[in-house]
Amino acid sequence: MKQKVAALNIFEETTEHYPKPSVQSWLIGRPLATADAPNQTIGKLVGLAVFSSDAMSSVAYGPQEMMLILAVAGTQALRLAFPIALAIAVLLFILTFSYEQTIYAYPGGGGAYIVARDNLGELPAQTAAAALLTDYILTVAVSISSGVAQLVSAYPVLYPNRVIITVGLIMVIMLINLRGVKESGITFAIPTYFFLALMFTTVIVGFIRFFSGTLGAVVAPPELETGMLAPISTFLILRAFANGTTSLTGVEAISNGITAFKEPRSKNAGKTLIWMSLILGSLLLAITFLSIKISAIPAESETLVSQLIRTVYQGRGALYLLTISATTIILVMAANTAFADFPRLGALTATDGFLPRQLSFRGSRLVYSSGIVALAAIASLLVIVFKASVTKLIPLYAIGVFLSFTLSQTGMARRWWKSGHLKPGDEVVEPGSTLRYDKGWLHKMIINGFGALSTAAVTIIFGVTKFHDGAWVVIALTPILVVIFFSINHHYRNLAKNLSLENHPQKGHIRRNRVIMPISGVHNGTLAALDYASTLSDDVTVVHVSINPAETAKLMEKWKIWGGGHRLLVLDSPYRMFLEPLLEYIDKLSSVQLGSEVITIVVPQFIPKHWWTNILHARTAETLRKALLHRNNIVITEIPYQVL
């Protein structure tokens, strides 16, 4: 349908073209129209599966990584794990309260990035983006590697193939996410709730057996993987605490993906966040407590969760296999949180001009396909480099997300300070939200300020205690990424400045078009290009670079018959060079070119019937384009002539 805008010579027309079936549509589903976007939103139950699987699944490796550090001081030190878990639960409460405020204050999503951008400035915002994007990549690598570790615990014969299995699972998750948020959410909802049901059943049965005195200790636990015992020290406890806080990664995910929820978005996202925190906190404390009581030994050969499950169910029967399978699946699915948030954050950063613009474009299924594919590729590379080892990847993990926690809560504290200095009824429109007076600004600012101090302390603890284990990589990588982001932004700003109509040069329109048409012979393709060139200008010069005098003589004879009176210039090339003499001639014309003149180079190019025969022919237009691309007032036009 064509529609004319009143009083303007502007028309709008909606195309009825529908994408043809392809391998892509077979893999990820039929393309969705832009108008389908509102139908792709999700509710609280599906949202819990999409955005909380990372946080909930971390109970499968968080307690183990915490106890692995304590094990250096011997099995007696493992009892310190529960007090440390309590401290982590308190930190979880602070983060939940903070991010619930963020959800209502920034209903457009974006989390730490948007909060830092609006309240702290571009540098903190890009620091948050770099930290979070790095963390999402590590989330995929760590969670799927941990899921495969659970699988290997049940089936040790798979251990040599763990890297291949891990990369394969990353590709599967990528394909599912390319199908769209709604479909991936529905796909993951059933396994998520299956895991929760089995894990809570395990915990409840474990507590019943504990209080009835029938729980006992783990049978044939793995050997304690440590050398000389170290004393219990503050540094050791802080290292264990830092490892345990990996259980809190993913808490920010819901605040980043608010736009995926159905209306009322903020209310639904806020409730989902509270549900997720309650589930995470209760499972973290319960698994840590029961693991201590059964004298479980943290080891790479068998996970803590595997030892707990087989102790509760007294062997590796059906319930053990079901629960281990569910744990493996939820750990693999934990990567889905990163696949849901990495592309959204990448799109926000790209829209602001700090990442390539391609990341802001939606694919055929209304998801940011480029971001999804990029995440899968980088995470797979990490898995290969670190051989799918959770213990080797963990030191790189969490420091980025706690840095983003700190920036987010600092930004929220500043937001409440700004809110408190407005008059009731006043509004300030910011890029990410509308700021209004809030009568509770003072206590909210204090809570967010305390949260910022807490997470900053954890960031420092993590950086110091894990520095030599690999945290230095992330500490060094974050500022490098920020520099790259600002370099990209500088390019886009410079480009926008040059393209801006405010800087439109005050010079006349093109008044003369000189056409140059290089030819190698006189044939149907040459004459077709000459017909086109004649429509552009009366000033057409056909140029032939002479390499073979005999062939040139034949060409000149043909031109007398077929040239139509157009000027032919023959450039003798004694050293048999084609490009250099032509460029020299173009340079001579350019040196006397007026500001209102343009040179158009028309290149005849015949197109063979079979694509593979292209390698048999010179691509003159491409060669000229590369040579002349950076010159002013020169246009290169390729005239195809199809050979049937």
Q: What pLDDT shows up at residue 286?
A: 94
DSSP category for residue 548: -
Amino acid at 208: I
3-state secondary structure of 427: strand
Q: Of 294-303, 331-340, 537-546, 588-597, which has the strongest mean pLDDT? A: 537-546
Q: Please write the tens of the pLDDT for every residue from 548-595.
A: 889 899 999 999 999 988 999 999 988 888 888 888 888 888 887 766
What's residue 112's pLDDT?
A: 85
Question: What pLDDT, on the 0 to 100 scale, is given for residue 231?
Answer: 78
User: Average pLDDT, stretch 621-632?
Assistant: 75
Contact of 388 with 162, CB cutoff 8 Å: yes
| pLDDT for res 220 | 83
pLDDT, residue 37, reads 59
Sign of CA dihedral 223, 225, 229, 231: negative
What is the model's pTM? 0.76
Q: Hey, what are 21's tokens?
A: 């079936």
Q: What is the mean pLDDT of residues 519-537?
A: 90
Is 127 a residue whose pLDDT tops 90?
Answer: yes
- The percent of residues in the chain predicted with pLDDT above 70, rounded, is 88
Q: Which of 421, 458, 448 is nearest to 436 (CA)?
A: 421
Q: Can you give the pLDDT at residue 1?
A: 47
Residue 414 predicted with pLDDT over 80: yes
Which domains, ranges and CATH numbers included, belong to the chain? 2-221+238-494 (1.20.1740.10), 512-642 (3.40.50.620)
Above 50 in pLDDT, residue 547? yes
Output the six-digit token pair for 93: 């409460």
Helix ranges (DSSP H) in 540-630: 549-562, 579-591, 620-628
Provide the pLDDT for residue 616. 63
State how far the Cα of 104 lies from the Cα of 638, in Å rounded to an integer: 55
pLDDT digits (tens, 9 = 90+) for 162-219: 899 999 999 988 888 887 766 667 777 888 889 899 999 999 999 999 999 999 888 8
Please state the rounded mean pLDDT for residues 333-358. Answer: 87
pLDDT of residue 540: 93
**Residue 469 DSSP symbol:** I
Give the pLDDT score at 399.
Answer: 80
Determine which helix (DSSP H) or strand (DSSP E) holds 634, and give its type and residue range. Answer: strand 634-642
pLDDT tens for 205-261 read: 999 999 999 998 888 888 776 666 677 888 888 888 888 887 887 788 888 778 888
Dihedrals phi, psi of 572, to nearest 5 degrees? -70, 135
Rounded to whole angstroms, the Cα distance separating 60 from 5 reads 60
Q: With bands split at pLDDT 50, 70 and 90, how would you rate the model's confidence at 516?
A: very high
Do 569 and 559 form a contact (C-beta atoms < 8 A)? no
Do the beta carbons of residue 59 and residue 331 sit within 8 Å? no
Judge whether 615 and 609 are in contact, CB under 8 Å.
Answer: no
For residue 312, the model assigns a pLDDT of 93
- Residue 262 in tokens: 């159905």
Does the structure show a pLDDT above 90 at 334? no
Say if residues 408 and 98 touch (Cβ distance below 8 Å).
yes
> Minimal CA–CA distance to 534: which of 569, 582, 567?
567
pLDDT on residue 202: 94
> What is the per-residue pLDDT for 165?
92
Q: Note whether 330 and 56 are within 8 A (CB).
A: yes
Q: Give tens-digit pLDDT for 1-40.
A: 455 555 556 666 666 666 666 666 666 666 666 666 566 6
Give the number of other Cβ atoms within 10 Å of residue 554's Cβ.
12
**Does residue 263 register a pLDDT over 60?**
yes
Q: What three-state secondary structure class fits 261?
A: strand
pLDDT over 70 at 425, yes or no: yes
